[in-house]
């Protein structure tokens, strides 16, 4: 709190994940990857099973005795190998590394660097972190919200052409508009994202080769497993998801000071000041921490108290938490893949927007066991499910999901479908934003500037999706309700009201 999480030292297995898997040699690892990529042994392949159910790493590469397999890293049995033990032995980054090998058939970092060097993505889409430098050119930007990242601007010709521009520290959540012809004039784009008929035709052939390197069915599998982990999707008759200790988790942010967080933890958990300080430092150092373990009701009450203090909090179980952490790492990897190839971005977008129909709506369980009856409205996409469950899913996944959504919007063939989906959920999201007390977390409402500033998209939404009434009705209802309750101008009840209703 009051600062970001320190970056970890690069792990010893980076580029060579077999080093972290007991009994696995490089040749054996490459063979298993090749089998998975050819869809051989689809249900029994070791790496695929590990991605689907990471607790299966126990006993995968060590002989089982009569008493059962024991993990050589934490010395726990397979039944006990959950929670912190599983995170230690099969970390989120290791999971993402293995997924990268499965998708590309080689070291994922080297593969992405090679694809990036080919300039196969016609849009940048870099998502700004807090305090990143951004540039706005008065000659090239089509509206005051458009800007580009420092790397794209320095590779452009705006300075040489004598354009008037300003640079500033960007807030988190926005993205670079270089390559988006509706946001930035082509003459001001960098050399990587400037359209050229000859270069584009060559890039198309190279992009096709990169796309064909990734098995589509395997990509679908990875995205399905990732989304299922965040949404706590269970199979028919599966009771494992109910097992494990429930916990309330607190997440780090860059807004609240440590004294406020420490006080909120004390009030939420009735712990000592020393324990509250320890938990505050743990969340600051690691990005999140468990502040309470117990019943679902107790953890729910703890989360509500933390959220009422403006802090991000989620309820999870020891069964789901390792999978949620791994899902966040895989989402970050998918976002990086989107940024290096138009073709792969389109495939990922199609799976997110049109996949998940095979998932039974009654099988979706969110944040500790509550069924979401609002989802029982026929088939829906992963994007719709994730946006609908935004209030309940693992809080740390909101930022990487936001970056992935921006890649969906950057795809020419997907942005209208995503805009239709976004507008359909807009009244609900606006109501939640207006009444939520949580600050410092990314929400779907932060995507509004990416959608409502695109001329062709807005014109289409106004004509065919009844956009203006959808936007104004929730606002009018909220203003009328708060006026009737006498809290419209109460800063304690409605802090930063204008910002919350009009975040951009």
pLDDT given for residue 365 in this prediction = 44
pLDDT given for residue 172 in this prediction = 80
Q: Which two tokens stand for residue 489?
A: 């101008």
Spatial contact of 114 and 105, defined as CB atoms under 8 Å apart? no
Beta bridge partners of 246: 294, 317
**CA 159 – CA 165 distance, rounded (Å):** 8
Residue 136 has pLDDT above 90, yes or no: yes
Q: Which two tokens stand for residue 100?
A: 């990268």
**pLDDT band at residue 54 under the 50/70/90 scheme:** low
Which residue has better confidence, 493 or 299? 299
Beta bridge partners of 99: none
Which residue has better confidence, 85 or 231? 231
pLDDT given for residue 320 in this prediction = 86
pLDDT given for residue 379 in this prediction = 56
Q: Which two tokens stand for residue 214?
A: 């990734």
Spatial contact of 72 and 23, defined as CB atoms under 8 Å apart? no
pLDDT given for residue 261 in this prediction = 94
**CA 375 – CA 237 distance, rounded (Å):** 20
Model pTM?
0.84
pLDDT given for residue 356 in this prediction = 66
pLDDT given for residue 140 in this prediction = 93
pLDDT in tens, 270-299: 999 999 999 999 999 989 999 999 998 999
**CA 387 – CA 332 distance, rounded (Å):** 17
Which residue has better confidence, 227 or 60? 227
pLDDT in tens, 60-105: 444 444 445 556 555 665 555 555 555 566 788 888 998 999 899 9
Beta bridge partners of 414: none
pLDDT given for residue 498 in this prediction = 46
pLDDT given for residue 198 in this prediction = 45
* Mean per-residue pLDDT, 220-225: 90
pLDDT given for residue 4 in this prediction = 53
**CA 188 – CA 330 distance, rounded (Å):** 33
**CA 450 – CA 126 distance, rounded (Å):** 13
pLDDT given for residue 391 in this prediction = 84
pLDDT given for residue 21 in this prediction = 76
Beta bridge partners of 137: 165
Beta bridge partners of 315: 248
Instruction: Round the average pLDDT of the chain to a whole number and report it.
Output: 80
pLDDT given for residue 170 in this prediction = 87
**CA 214 – CA 246 distance, rounded (Å):** 37
Q: Minimal CA–CA distance to 180: which of 348, 410, 447, 408? A: 410
**pLDDT band at residue 503 under the 50/70/90 scheme:** very low
pLDDT in tens, 319-329: 888 889 989 99
Spatial contact of 360 and 335, defined as CB atoms under 8 Å apart? no
> What separation in angstroms does the CA of 394 have from each of 128, 158, 330, 364, 369?
22, 42, 14, 15, 14
pLDDT in tens, 422-473: 999 988 888 788 778 888 778 888 888 889 888 899 999 999 988 888 888 8
**CA 106 – CA 116 distance, rounded (Å):** 15
Residue 305 has pLDDT above 90, yes or no: yes
**pLDDT band at residue 501 under the 50/70/90 scheme:** low
* Mean per-residue pLDDT, 354-367: 52
- 158, with CB counted inside 10 A (0-12, 13-18, 19+), is buried
pLDDT given for residue 189 in this prediction = 92
Give whichever of 201-210, 408-417, 491-500 has the largest mean pLDDT.
Answer: 408-417
pLDDT given for residue 361 in this prediction = 44
Which of helix, strand or coil describes residue 443?
coil
Q: Minimal CA–CA distance to 492: which of 255, 303, 308, 311? A: 308
- How much of the chain exceeds pLDDT 70, in percent? 77
Q: Minimal CA–CA distance to 449: which of 412, 405, 411, 386? A: 405
pLDDT given for residue 205 in this prediction = 74
pLDDT given for residue 202 in this prediction = 54
pLDDT given for residue 362 in this prediction = 39
Residues with Cβ within 8 Å of residue 159, at least 6 apart in sequence: 165
Name the DSSP class of 256: S
């Amino acid at each position: 709190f009051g600062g970001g999480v320190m970056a970890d030292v690069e792990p010893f297995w980076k580029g060579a994940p077999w080093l972290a898997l007991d009994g696995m040699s490089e040749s054996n690892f490459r063979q298993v990857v090749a089998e998975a990529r050819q869809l051989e042994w689809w249900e029994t392949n070791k790496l695929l099973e590990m991605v689907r159910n990471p607790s299966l790493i126990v006993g995968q590469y060590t002989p089982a005795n009569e008493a059962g397999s024991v993990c050589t890293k934490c010395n726990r049995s397979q039944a006990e190998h959950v929670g912190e033990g599983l995170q230690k032995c099969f970390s989120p980054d290791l999971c993402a590394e293995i997924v990268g090998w499965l998708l590309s058939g080689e070291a994922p970092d080297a593969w992405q660097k090679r694809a990036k060097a080919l300039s196969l993505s016609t849009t940048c889409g870099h998502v700004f972190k807090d305090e990143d430098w951004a540039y706005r050119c008065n000659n090239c930007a089509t509206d005051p919200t458009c800007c580009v990242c420092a790397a794209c601007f320095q590779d452009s010709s705006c300075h040489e052409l004598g354009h008037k521009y300003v640079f500033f520290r960007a807030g988190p959540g926005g993205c670079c508009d270089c390559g988006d012809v509706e946001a930035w004039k082509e003459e001001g784009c960098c050399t990587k994202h400037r359209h050229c008929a000859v270069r584009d035709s060559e890039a198309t052939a190279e992009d096709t080769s990169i796309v064909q390197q990734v098995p589509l069915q395997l990509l679908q599998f990875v995205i399905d497993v990732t989304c299922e982990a965040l949404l706590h999707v269970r199979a028919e008759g599966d009771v494992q998801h109910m097992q494990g200790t429930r916990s309330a988790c607190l997440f780090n942010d860059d807004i609240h000071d440590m004294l406020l967080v420490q006080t909120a933890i004390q009030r939420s958990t009735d712990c000592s000041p020393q324990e509250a300080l320890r938990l505050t430092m743990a969340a600051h150092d690691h990005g999140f921490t468990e502040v309470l373990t117990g019943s679902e009701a107790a953890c729910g009450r703890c989360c509500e108290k933390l959220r009422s203090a403006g802090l991000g909090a989620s309820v999870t179980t020891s069964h789901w938490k390792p999978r949620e952490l791994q899902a966040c790492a895989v989402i970050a990897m998918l976002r990086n893949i989107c940024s290096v190839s138009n073709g792969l971005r389109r495939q990922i977008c199609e799976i997110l927007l049109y996949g998940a129909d095979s998932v039974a709506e009654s099988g979706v369980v969110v944040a500790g066991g509550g069924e979401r009856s609002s989802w029982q409205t026929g088939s829906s996409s992963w994007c719709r499910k994730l946006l609908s469950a935004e209030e309940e899913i693992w809080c740390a996944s909101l930022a990487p999901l936001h970056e992935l959504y921006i890649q969906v919007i950057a795809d020419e063939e997907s942005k209208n479908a995503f805009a239709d989906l976004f507008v359909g959920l807009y009244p609900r999201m606006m109501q939640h934003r207006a009444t939520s007390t949580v600050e410092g977390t990314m929400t779907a409402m932060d995507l509004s500037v990416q959608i409502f500033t695109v001329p062709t998209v807005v014109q289409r939404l106004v004509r065919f999706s009844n956009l203006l009434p959808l936007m104004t009705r929730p606002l009018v209802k909220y203003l009328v309700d708060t006026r009737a309750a006498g809290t419209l101008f109460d800063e304690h009840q409605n802090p930063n009201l204008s910002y919350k209703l009009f975040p951009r």
